[in-house]
A and B are shown apart, each in its own frame.
Chain A
Amino acid sequence: MIDETDKRILSATQGGLPLVPAPFAEVAGWLGLQEDEVITRFERMMKDGIVRRIAIAPNHYALGMVANGMSVWDVDDAQAETLGEKVGALEFVSHSYLRPRAEGWPYNLFAMIHGSDRDAVEAHRGEIAAILGEACRARDILYSTRILKKTGMRFRKEG
């Protein structure tokens, strides 16, 4: 798992990585560590899946993708992983998950579709349906009408 030093590194970079030529040296400087140690710890945390990636998060709205819908699909379990990979790789899908079904809810594949408007989202939904083909038994899409609450995910310093 992770130790106190890892936690300090993650906590220090939750606001973002510094935009300087040597960002890991900069973080090391903040924490009284060596650059090599910060890089090695990131390598280990990525290998262990604690840090999923170091990347940007695009703002879909600012990039013109103002419409989105949560598409849900009832996909044959035997093919769900393979088909889920294909759906997750589509450029207009930001998140895609397999989730358990529930009473009155036959869907196991969730894919968040983004588009410039509702028609674009529906067209993308058709593309997903074509990929899933006969493995898909039922489908639906849920559009959001209101954000009721939104708080950032916070990494707690105390772990």
Chain B
Amino acid sequence: MRRTPLPPDALDETDRKLINRLQDGFPLTSHPFAGIAQEMGLEEADVLTRIANLRELGAITRFGPFIDAAAMGGAFCLCAMEVPEDRFEEVMTLVNAHAEVAHNYERVHRLNMWFVLACDRPEGIDETADRIEAETGLTVLRFPKLKEFFIGFRVTA
């Protein structure tokens, strides 16, 4: 994934509007891009070309359906650990070795290691977290989501 900003002129105003529009729901119709094009006063082919270009540039990471892991029978859980500075690399290696650890960040806080567990079954969360506690001798705090608020991230159009 691209982690550096694109040049300011890489995207025009229409690209930015399209990025915002495509976070707001997608028509479940035979020709959905034509519907979006009509809403925005564009041609269908232009919309398709622009999305392909945004993907090519790395301005978007993905375009498609987002699946709820919980509805699929799986589970996610944000976890945090307070890792002593002199054990950080050792603990990181132990934590990252678990396939259930989807991503892991070092953060500036007493709780300095934050990772997400992604499991096929809800019981897998505690099983994995317990295993990490046993391996490291450290507590794994568990912060499952109780409620999600999602609207989407906006770019200035």
Chain B positions within 8 Å of A, measured between CB atoms, are 1-6, 8, 11, 19, 22-26, 28-34, 44, 48, 51-52, 54-55, 57-69, 71-73, 78, 80, 92, 95-96, 101-111, 113-115, 118, 120, 141-155
Contact = CB atoms under 8 A, between A and B. Distances in A.
Contact of B71 (A20, A49, A88, A94): A49
Binding site secondary structure of chain A: mixed
B30 A144 contact: no
A66 B103 CA distance: 18
4 residue pairs, one from A and one from B, having the closest CB atoms: A88-B149, A91-B154, A54-B26, A148-B104
A96 B73 CA distance: 22
Interface in A32-80: 35, 39, 42-43, 46, 48-66, 70
Given A84-B147, A153-B102, A53 B153 contact: no
A145 B149 contact: no
What size tier do the contact residues of chain A reach?
A: 35 or more
9 contacts: A14-B67, A42-B65, A55-B23, A55-B24, A56-B62, A64-B6, A97-B149, A148-B115, A149-B102
Nearest to B156: A91
A63 B5 contact: yes
B153 A92 contact: yes
B21 to A, nearest CB: 9
Given A63-B19, A100-B144, 15 more contacts: A1-B71, A2-B72, A20-B48, A50-B72, A52-B150, A54-B26, A57-B63, A59-B60, A62-B5, A64-B6, A88-B151, A96-B149, A142-B114, A143-B108, A153-B118
